[in-house]
Amino acid sequence: MDAAASAVSRHKLHPHETFAKIVTGMVPRLEAEIRKPATGTPEARVDTSIAYKDAAYAMLTNDCSPLVTDRALALNRARLDYATRLSGVGFWYCDLPFDFLEWDDRVKEHFFFPPTARVTIDDFYARIHEEDRAPTREAIEASIRDKTAYDIVYRTVHPITAEVKWIRALGGTDYDADGTPTHFDGVTVDVSAQKLDQQRLAGLNNQLREQDRRKDEFIATLSHELRNPLAPIRAAAKVIASPKAAPAQVTHAQQIVERQISHMALLLDDLLDIARITQGKLQLKKETLALVPVVDAAVEAVRPTLDGKNQQLDVGLPAEAVLLDADSLRLSQVISNLLMNAVKYSDPGSRIELRCTVQGDALRLSVKDNGIGIAPESIVGIFQMFSQVDSVAGRSEGGLGIGLALVRGIVELHGGKVEARSEGLGFGSEFIVYLPLAARPQAETRAVSDPAQASSTRRRILVADDNKDAAESLAMLLEMAGHEVRVAHHGQGALSLAQVFRPDTALLDIGMPDMSGYEVAQALRREAWAADIALIALTGWGQDSDRRRALEAGFDHHLIKPVDPDQLAGLIANDVPAGT
């Protein structure tokens, strides 16, 4: 007590000051007197004190100021109201047994009642979401019966708009001396925002789990798809190696190997492409081009599979010439992917339609089949990566589930869009691509290399690859095409051989142990005689950055292994532009 008084006097507060902040930790109510040091006569006394935040406040009075007490009480009240308002907490009080409920405005707001409403226990339950009503009743009864804290979250529902709030209610019961419950009081807090956050997080979590599941499934499918061609390749290799194999069998085995390798190369290309698209690294080589050759190339690519299933393809093209600003290879990849799916997912002997029409300033390209169709719930995510509709028919056709993701990625890079339609399972499917038409007239028609004429010119070709089998087999193919070929198995060897052989074309592997293909190319380009020879890089790396690096090192062309012999022959024979 004296401590309080001396604390006040030490701070030289005038006794008529309404409030004096006394040191932290004071008891909420205290009594003390402040006396004049000289005479010891009382000058003021502490009338009321409260604890507020970290401090205790005392109201000082000198007996003649009841006004001071009122002002202090009013201020306390205001502070409490302010804190209550800020906290968003509503207060409720009920005499037991329940009848009329005393709610403050905030609780009424939590239950969508106006401040003037009088509320009964029936109103309370009526506004609680029907699924939460029974658990809430049970929690209240348990709390009163077992003398435990009441703490529950329920939803309240607006009777007209059906707006929902998530409310947390906390409270407890008072009992009289004989244990009869007399009051059930407590607070409500609106926790809708936290609930929404929780629901959003749960949604994200589910999405992640779903993506994870699809990735696992994809890895399993990928292993399966890459393993599949190995068995026929192994068997074919045995046939070729066998002295008992008839020439026709050897030829057949070779065809099997070629087919399977092309299949694997396509899978790997798709994988690389999708990785580029998801990383935003796929760059289009756009030019103004006519639609027809692009469609022709796509149809050409699917023709063998189409014929294999004895299916009929109807192609409808617009009468007028259609020009697009597009990457011709990528665009025909889009069309052939859609056609290939139509072939895969419809019966042998069925009919597939490819229709191209001009709609305003866009091309509308539709691929329609009357195959297995797509269930409405599967259409939504069908363009997502790794999405494969779980049906026996779908699965048995193989594939990685990335074809449509690639289609969408490429179409969107062209500023277009793609959609899928189906009347449901068994009713066929239609995939529609919209692409903007080119604004400019076509600059020139592109020359197409003809591999059939490839071998008409005899070249001096240097092949350098540390993989002996790869180098030898390539050399054999080139020799069979009528070229003169020399082989080196490392970079230095390639350079020395080049000095004497003076090739007009060099096919250089990039990853050689002593010198990279880039270094060999740079060294060759420094020789006057080699300034204009054709340099072709052979590599397993197909990123655009690899291609750029090769061109910077002096290469004219960049081919990804396994090299398509026809493409190579065409490249060697025709002086096609660099950067292919």
Residues contributing to the site for ligand ADP (CB under 6 A): 341-342, 345, 369, 371-374, 382, 387-389, 394, 399-405, 429
Please classify residue 172 by burial: count the beta carbons closer than 10 Å to its beta carbon, then call 0-12 exposed, 13-18 middle and 19+ buried: middle
- The residue among 260 and 388 lying less far from ligand ADP, judged by its C-beta, is 388
**Number of Cβ within a 10 Å radius of residue 487:** 20
Residues near 447 by beta carbon (within 8 Å), at least 6 away in sequence: 576
CB of 338 to ligand ADP, least distance (A): 7
- The residue among 372 and 438 lying less far from ligand ADP, judged by its C-beta, is 372
CB of 460 to ligand ADP, least distance (A): 44
Query: For ligand ADP, which residue has the nearest CB?
Result: 399
Q: In what order do the strands lie in the sheet with 33-35?
A: 19-22, 55-61, 42-52, 33-35
Q: Cα dihedral angle (550, 556, 562, 565), rounded to 10 degrees?
A: -170
- The residue among 245 and 393 lying less far from ligand ADP, judged by its C-beta, is 393
Residues near 376 by beta carbon (within 8 Å), at least 6 away in sequence: 422, 424
Q: Which residues pair with 289 in a beta bridge?
A: 324
CB of 397 to ligand ADP, least distance (A): 7
β-pairing, 557-560 with 534-539?
Answer: parallel
For residue 289, give the H/E element and its range: strand 287-290
CB of 332 to ligand ADP, least distance (A): 16
CB of 406 to ligand ADP, least distance (A): 7
CB of 329 to ligand ADP, least distance (A): 18
- The residue among 48 and 366 lying less far from ligand ADP, judged by its C-beta, is 366
In terms of Cα–Cα distance, which of 475, 378, 373, 473 is closest to 426? Answer: 373
CB of 318 to ligand ADP, least distance (A): 23
Please classify residue 92 by burial: count the beta carbons closer than 10 Å to its beta carbon, then call 0-12 exposed, 13-18 middle and 19+ buried: buried
- The residue among 350 and 580 lying less far from ligand ADP, judged by its C-beta, is 350
CA 126 remoteness from chain centre: 43
CB of 565 to ligand ADP, least distance (A): 27
- The residue among 295 and 374 lying less far from ligand ADP, judged by its C-beta, is 374
- The residue among 171 and 373 lying less far from ligand ADP, judged by its C-beta, is 373
Query: At 204, which amino acid appears?
Result: L
CB of 450 to ligand ADP, least distance (A): 31
In 119-192, the DSSP E strands lie at 119-120, 150-157, 164-175, 181-190
> What letter would DSSP give residue 556?
S
Contact 578, 557 (CB under 8 A): yes
- The residue among 51 and 268 lying less far from ligand ADP, judged by its C-beta, is 268
- The residue among 371 and 409 lying less far from ligand ADP, judged by its C-beta, is 371
